[in-house]
Amino acid sequence: MNSVALGMEKNLFRYIWRHSRGEQVVILLLVVVAQVFYFASLNLPKSIVNDGIEGKGFKNVAELPFFRVSLPLPSFLSDAGSIRLFDGVALTQWPYLVAMSCLFLVMVTVNGMFKKTINTQKGRMGERMLRRLRYELFDRILLFPNVHFRKVKAAELSGMIKDEVEPLGGFIGDAYVQPAFLGGQAMTALLFIMLQSVWLGTIVIVVLGVQAFVIPRLRRRILVLGRQRQITARQLAGRIAETVDGVHEIHTNATANYERADIAHRLGTIFVIRFQLYQRKFTAKFLNNLLAQTTPFMIYLIGGYLVLFGDMQVGAVVGVLLAYKDLPGPVKELIDWDQQRQDVQQKYEQVVEQFEPDGMLARELQMVPDGPVAPLSGEIVLSGVTVAEDSGAKSVDAVNLVAPLDRRLALVGPPGGGKETITQVMARLTPPSAGTVRIGGADLASLPESTTGARISYVGQDVYLFPVSVRDNILYGLRRRPVTPANYDEAERRARERFVSESRRAGNPDFDPADDWIDYDAAGATGPGDIDHRIVEALRAVELEEDIYQYGLRGTLDTSTRPAIAQSILAAREELHARLTDPTLASLVEPFDRARYNRNMSVAENLLFGTPIGKTFDPDNIAANPHMRAALAQVGLESELLQMGVTIAETMVELFADLPAGHPFFEQFSFIAAEDLPEFRTILSRLAGKSVADLDDAARARLAALPFRYIEARHRLGLIDAAVEERLLAARRAFAENLPADAADAIEFYDRSRYNVAATLQDNILFGRIVYGQAQGPERISALISEVLEGLGLRMAVIEVGLDYNVGVGGKRLSAIQRQKVGLARALVKRPDLLILNEATSLFDSAAQQRVLDKILDVCKGRGVIWALNRASFADRFDDVVVLQGGKVTAKGAPGDITGDKTFADLLAAG
Amino acid sequence: MSIHEEVELLKTVPIFAKIEPAKLKLLAFTSDRLTFDAGQELCHQGDIGDAMYVILGGSADVLIDSPSGPIKVAQLQRNDFVGEMAILCDIPRTATVAAHEKLTALKIPKELFFRLVAEFPQMAVEIMRELAHRVEDMNVKLTAAKAA
């Protein structure tokens, strides 16, 4: 392993040769052997027809030798034209025909097998090399210096690794085999021509030479264009990603058309480049073909001249022409191969140079540690640390600072005064342009990342969250090495071994993501069983626990991974319903009861009496669902529902007639969208004085769909009386009893004794509906549920489910404050020796900031905390304060001692 | 109670007296008719207000915080309305209103309230009349307090 990540091989061929020479040689040998069989099989059909069928060979003899193997040789080596390797078996005509036909079949199969093997080998080698190259490129991204990420675009990097190197995979298999093979063919043909006539041979060589000289020159411009094409396409990918990232700015500033202009211009440029490419390419092809045809022209002319006026035989000219017929094929393919070679070489260079920024990290900084990392102790010492920006301005200017790793240091100062940059220097995110940082006596820059990553936490103002669960985001800081190997059974272990050996062949590491990478010890836990408790401690310190609890209540449970929680939730359901027998609470909830109509549920929900899974019984589709319609028809409810639909439509038309379209009431209260209101008005006017039976099917369907969303307790139109309730219950039974087998998975029926997998935790506990019109009903019920869960000791179980909440891309499903809190929890859970915070609570309101600050300082008691504060007034909680202004330390000391400092006093006054 | 019965009930409330039945129906349909148990608060002094209430049944106490605990300053009956000050002036609730016994009230959200007032000046007049009564009442009490 080199101490500094070396530059990549510039030459694609050397790169390919270095990593695949063994495989290349094997494939080359296979190709040669395959040729022998191929040539041997060429003669077969002729023998079968002439000797086997027409019996030409049997005119004079009764038997012919079968499977005689002879090696054809040019006449100058042997007078006979071949040497015999095997005399064969003597056969009469019929057995000879049978044997020859079978041999033909065998040869076809053998040739096919060779082809298959060679192609498979080539493909595998190409894919291996592609895998190696992609891995190396990705590996280098992880070694880029941080400052480089200010210049590169993520989409361009991913585009290069994903798309731009892809054609290399196909080429690698042919990189050596193709030229060797085609070159051999061409040389043989050339040799034959030379033997026939030195003159003609010379002409052929001269024309080929001209071709070899002219064509690459024509291609030079093509290569330049190819490079431009690659760069413009890459920039296009980068711009598209920027458009997506900045989409809010685009909408709020109405710059969509400016973006359109930019992209259209880029596409135009790409078009011009590509069109020029085509022009050049086809011109080159034309010239190439022309030159290729010059040779026969010369052979006709000069060969003919030699026959007419010299001593050349006509046969020789024909022979040369025939030999030449075999020449253009391989030569043309060689030229194609060369073109492809230049293309991929150029692509390769283009990509590789993007992956060699200055200041790449030393590879050994990222070596996987063997075991737990020893704690840091002593102090962090900054000596003459200066950070100069590209412009030359110094955001930190010759700062000297000593901070013991068991004290709390507050950094205060005006924004941009240097406190932010100092924290980044200490977290090794910004390398100092001068000066050194030592921690516990060691140079910070030379400490392995595994040490700083384990013992130092840093949280800045922006927290990046991965699109995984809250739990995985918080535990992300503990995944530095595989701690517990994954459990495999025998078959899985063998599969894994094959996988690993293939990884090694492609130069990939053999780490297993299925291992448990979480360093439970570092978090003070013993394993997966109690790590959630450590997470909750961190969540409490940053005041995120309640939010996660709420996510848990609103989350669904994967009963296969957490069966115990499902059982506990059922216990909570029983407990809640026991409490609801209290008369003051009884009016708040109407429980699910198979035998009773629930007036606080919609008609559709009452009929289903379960949670729909997927689209089949979705509330929007339920009215048209054939099974539901059958159930309603069975109890004769269809006309009744239709009549209800008419009443609802009449009421809605009456109530909402005067409201302007788009009024919020439509969304909140109406069964009918504003734009559909006129349609219903028309239907009702057609209905005037007539029976609903006279309406057309479409109109009836529209009306019949309305009652499904009707909730008696909420909408209070008095549509559902006791008799209708009875019949709806009958329909509910008919629906459940006759449910087709293929729809059984589309609904989870309410069952008091079963956990409902499709419903949220809260709905599972409630097992009923909150009654409309009870003041603070939802609040009182939610408090009651919390009380029940608390009483049963289930709060932790709910939080466990809440921790499964997926935070979305970039954490967008959380608020900005929640993201900061998750970032802080991630920093706390690994129990660092030094916690560095850079205005990490800046989004909190002042009171919350104060509370969280106190809690975090309490959690980190006895360990080092360095906090760049956005409010100087919090500095009194720290052991030491350093005031930074203009990149320099202007005052330092205990908070009580430096109140006389003018800058500090000003900062305090500003809050 | 069905919506038709509720409209009949609303017709008897003085501030809604002049509003046409169709509009009352919309009011009944889009407003929450809430039931409060004795002691439950309709609004709490100092909170931000987003709705006013019209009492349809039962009674409520109006309480104002004082150093010696909440003081009851008024009692509300059926047809009384409360909470209009916070939404008219965008100020926090000036008093706590708690149900004295089981109470039902119509909760009119801020937006609907302004819409009704704009559409039915008669309703605005009724509210002004009530507010004027309260000022007069206040003046009487103030004079009495000064005299004492």
- Which of A644, A774, A779 to mutate to test binding with chain B, by most B CBs within 10 Å of its CB? A774
Write down the ipTM of this complex.
0.80
Task: Report helix, strand or coil for A228.
Answer: helix
Contacts of A778 in chain B (CB under 8 A): none
- Which of A656, A663, A716, A724 to mutate to test binding with chain B, by most B CBs within 10 Å of its CB? A716
Contacts of B25 in chain A (CB under 8 A): 654-655
**Alpha-carbon gap, residue A588 to A775, rounded angstroms:** 9
Q: Do B35 and A584 touch (CB under 8 A)?
A: no
Count of positions (residues) in chain B: 148
Q: Do A716 and B37 touch (CB under 8 A)?
A: no
Q: Do B34 and A584 touch (CB under 8 A)?
A: no
- Ramachandran class of A176: left when φ > 0, alpha when ψ lies in -120 to 50, beta otherwise: alpha
Query: Could you give the angle at the alpha carbon of A414 between the alpha carbons of A820 and A465, nearest 5°?
Result: 15
Give the chain B residue nearest A656 (alpha carbons): B26
Residue in A669, A774, A776 nearest the CB of B29: A669
DSSP letter for A165, please. T
Amino acid at the residue A364: E
DSSP letter for A614, please. S
- pLDDT tens for A413-422 read 888 888 999 9
**Alpha-carbon gap, residue B129 to A747, rounded angstroms:** 57
DSSP letter for A622, please. G
Q: In angstroms, what separates the C-alpha of B89 from chain A's closest C-alpha?
A: 23
Cα end-to-end distance, chain B, whole Å: 49
Q: Determine the pLDDT at residue A260.
A: 93
Reported confidence tier of residue A76, pLDDT bands at 50, 70, 90: low
**Sign of torsion over alpha carbons A590, A593, A596, A602:** positive
Class for the domain spanning B3-147: mainly beta
Task: Report helix, strand or coil for A456.
Answer: strand
**Alpha-carbon gap, residue A520 to A483, rounded angstroms:** 9
Is the Cβ of A675 closer than 8 Å to some Cβ of chain B? no
What's the Rg (C-alpha) of chain B? 16
Q: In angstroms, what separates the C-alpha of B28 from chain A's closest C-alpha?
A: 10
Q: Which residues contact A101 (CB under 8 A, 6 or more apart)?
A: A48, A52
Residue in B25, B30, B42 nearest the CB of A665: B30
Nearest to A172 by CA among A226, A140, A219, A134: A134
Greater pLDDT, A830 or A46: A830
Q: Determine the pLDDT at residue A4.
A: 43
For every residue of chain B, which 3-state class applies, written as one string?
Answer: CCHHHHHHHHHCCHHHCCCCHHHHHHHHHHCEEEEECCCCEEECCCCCCCEEEEEEECCEEEEECCCCCCEEEEEECCCCEECHHHHHHCCCCCCEEEECCCEEEEEEEHHHHHHHHHHCHHHHHHHHHHHHHHHHHHHHHHHHHHHC
Give the chain A residue nearest B42 (alpha carbons): A775
Which range has the worst mean pLDDT, A55-64, A673-682, A756-765? A55-64
Is the Cβ of A75 closer than 8 Å to some Cβ of chain B? no
Residues A853, A841 contacting (CB under 8 angstroms): yes
Residues A412, A869 contacting (CB under 8 angstroms): yes
Q: Determine the pLDDT at residue B52.
A: 86
Q: Which helix (H) or strand (E) holds A716?
A: none
Q: Determine the pLDDT at residue A667.
A: 67
Task: Report helix, strand or coil for A281.
Answer: helix
Q: Do B111 and A668 touch (CB under 8 A)?
A: no
Residue in B3, B34, B36 nearest the CB of A716: B3
Q: Output the DSSP codes for A509-541.
A: ----TTSEEE-TGGGT-SSTTTHHHHHHHHHHH
Residues A65, A73 contacting (CB under 8 angstroms): no
Contacts of A668 in chain B (CB under 8 A): 30
Q: Determine the pLDDT at residue A464.
A: 93
Q: Do A716 and B36 touch (CB under 8 A)?
A: no
Q: In angstroms, what separates the C-alpha of B2 from chain A's closest C-alpha?
A: 5
Residues A575, A792 contacting (CB under 8 angstroms): yes
Residue in A717, A774, A776 nearest the CB of B3: A717
**Alpha-carbon gap, residue A112 to A788, rounded angstroms:** 73
Q: Determine the pLDDT at residue A822.
A: 95
- Which of B9, B31, B37 to mutate to test binding with chain A, by most A CBs within 10 Å of its CB? B37
Residues A535, A475 contacting (CB under 8 angstroms): yes
Q: Determine the pLDDT at residue A687.
A: 80
Residue ranges of alpha helices (H) inside A583-663 are 583-586, 603-608, 626-634, 638-656
Q: How high is the mean pLDDT of chain A?
A: 85
Contacts of B39 in chain A (CB under 8 A): none
**Alpha-carbon gap, residue A883 to A891, rounded angstroms:** 5
Q: In angstroms, what separates the C-alpha of B43 from chain A's closest C-alpha?
A: 11
Q: Determine the pLDDT at residue A72.
A: 61
Q: Do B22 and A655 touch (CB under 8 A)?
A: yes
Residues A582, A753 contacting (CB under 8 angstroms): no
- In this predicted structure, the answer to whether residue A471 has a pLDDT above a threshold of 90 is yes
Structural domains in chain A, sorted by start: 12-354 (1.20.1560.10), 602-747 (no CATH)
Is the Cβ of A584 closer than 8 Å to some Cβ of chain B? yes
Query: What value does the mean pLDDT take over residues B47-65?
Result: 87
Q: Do B4 and A718 touch (CB under 8 A)?
A: yes
- Number of Cβ pairs < 8 A linking chain A and chain B: 42
Amino acid at the residue B117: V
Which range has the worst mean pLDDT, A296-300, A493-497, A523-527, A728-732? A296-300
Q: Determine the pLDDT at residue A381.
A: 92
Which range has the worst mean pLDDT, A91-95, A132-136, A375-379? A91-95
Q: Determine the pLDDT at residue A71.
A: 65
Chain B interface with A: residues with Cβ < 8 Å: 1-4, 6, 22, 25-26, 28-30, 32-37, 40, 42, 111
**Alpha-carbon gap, residue A222 to A281, rounded angstroms:** 7
- pLDDT tens for A765-813 read 999 998 888 888 888 888 899 999 999 888 998 999 999 999 998 899 9
- In this predicted structure, the answer to whether residue A500 has a pLDDT above a threshold of 90 is yes
Is the Cβ of A662 closer than 8 Å to some Cβ of chain B? no
- pLDDT tens for A525-553 read 898 888 999 999 999 999 999 999 999 99
Contacts of A669 in chain B (CB under 8 A): 29-30
Is the Cβ of A599 closer than 8 Å to some Cβ of chain B? no
**Alpha-carbon gap, residue A50 to A620, rounded angstroms:** 77
Is the Cβ of A717 closer than 8 Å to some Cβ of chain B? yes
Q: In angstroms, what separates the C-alpha of B147 from chain A's closest C-alpha?
A: 42
Q: Which residues contact A670 (CB under 8 A, 6 or more apart)?
A: A652, A655, A656
Residues A398, A888 contacting (CB under 8 angstroms): yes
Is the Cβ of A667 closer than 8 Å to some Cβ of chain B? no
Contacts of B30 in chain A (CB under 8 A): 665, 668-669
Residues A790, A783 contacting (CB under 8 angstroms): no
Reported confidence tier of residue A467, pLDDT bands at 50, 70, 90: very high
Q: Determine the pLDDT at residue A829.
A: 94
Q: Determine the pLDDT at residue A1.
A: 36
Residue in B25, B28, B40 nearest the CB of A775: B40
Residue in B22, B35, B42 nearest the CB of A654: B22
Contacts of B33 in chain A (CB under 8 A): 773
Is the Cβ of A647 closer than 8 Å to some Cβ of chain B? no
Q: Do B34 and A774 touch (CB under 8 A)?
A: yes
Q: How many CB atoms lie within 10 A of CB B26?
A: 23
Q: Do A773 and B35 touch (CB under 8 A)?
A: yes
Beta bridge pairs of residue A383: A436
**Alpha-carbon gap, residue A864 to A512, rounded angstroms:** 34
Nearest to A603 by CA among A640, A560, A565, A652: A640
Q: Which helix (H) or strand (E) holds A251?
A: helix A247-253
Residue in A654, A664, A776 nearest the CB of B40: A776
Give the chain B residue nearest A715 (alpha carbons): B29
Contacts of B36 in chain A (CB under 8 A): 775
Give the chain A residue nearest B36 (alpha carbons): A775
Greater pLDDT, B3 or A597: A597
- In this predicted structure, the answer to whether residue A2 has a pLDDT above a threshold of 60 is no
Contacts of B111 in chain A (CB under 8 A): 664
- pLDDT tens for B78-137 read 888 888 888 888 888 888 899 999 898 888 888 888 887 887 787 788 888 888 888 888
- Which of A665, A670, A720 to mutate to test binding with chain B, by most B CBs within 10 Å of its CB? A665
Contacts of A655 in chain B (CB under 8 A): 22, 25-26, 29
Query: What value does the mean pLDDT take over residues A739-762?
Result: 86
- In this predicted structure, the answer to whether residue A118 has a pLDDT above a threshold of 60 is yes
**Alpha-carbon gap, residue A868 to A820, rounded angstroms:** 15
Which range has the worst mean pLDDT, A199-208, A233-242, B128-137? A199-208
Which burial class, exposed, middle or buried, applies to A342 when counting CB atoms under 10 A from its CB (0-12, 13-18, 19+)?
Answer: middle
Q: What percent of chain A has pLDDT over 90?
A: 23
Q: Do A654 and B1 touch (CB under 8 A)?
A: no
For every residue of A79-146, which 3-state class applies, written as one string?
Answer: CCCEEEEECCEEECHHHHHHHHHHHHHHHHHHHHHHHHHHHHHHHHHHHHHHHHHHHHHHHHHHHCCH
Residues A497-511: b if buried by 16+ CB within 10 A, e if exposed: eeeeeebebbebeee
Query: What value does the mean pLDDT take over residues A282-295?
Result: 79
Residue in A664, A718, A774 nearest the CB of B35: A774
